[in-house]
Amino acid sequence: MTRHPTTTDAFSPAVPLPPVATARFAIGAVVKHRVFDFRGVIFDVDPVFANSDEWYDAIPEDIRPRKDQPFYHLLAENADSSYVAYVSQQNLVSDESDEPIDHPAIRDLFERSDDGRYNLRPHHKH
């Protein structure tokens, strides 16, 4: 018997799922942080916060983002270094600079098209 997710019976009462915000950015999008001076290419998206409590608690409370929003994994860079960043949707904006991202892992994951977009290499698509 196939059950519909909203079906209830004596053994499995319906439990409402929390609302999930829609991701504003896609894998391969170039974004920049709204407050801090870094930018990057998105390589993964979590529909809600999926990092450790220690990571979350290390963010100063007055700027700590809500957990009920998409969080993005970025191949990020600033003027000094390249790194991987985990950033809430509320703290990202599109980067319209058309400048390439110079992260050392870019070539392993993405191909850059003539229009400046980053497309996942075929062996990384699900």
77-100 confidence digits (pLDDT tens): 999 999 999 999 999 999 999 899
Residue ranges in the chain assigned as alpha helix (H): 53-57, 106-109
> Of 45, 100, 50, whose CA–CA distance to 73 is shortest?
45
List the beta bridge partners of residue 1: none
Residue 16 confidence (pLDDT):
73
103: CATH: 2.30.30
Query: Would residue 22 count as lying in a domain?
Result: no
Residue 73 DSSP SS3: strand
Residue 15 confidence (pLDDT):
72
Domain total in the chain: 1
Q: Characterize 15-53 residue by residue with b for buried, 16 or more Cβ atoms within 10 angstroms of its Cβ, and e for exposed.
A: eeeeeeeebbbebbbbbbbeeeebbbbbbebeeebeeee
Query: Would residue 6 count as lying in a domain?
Result: no
Low-confidence ranges of the chain (pLDDT < 50): 1-4, 7
Query: Would residue 7 count as lying in a domain?
Result: no
The pTM assigned to this predicted structure is 0.81
List the beta bridge partners of residue 44: 73
Residue 11 confidence (pLDDT):
61
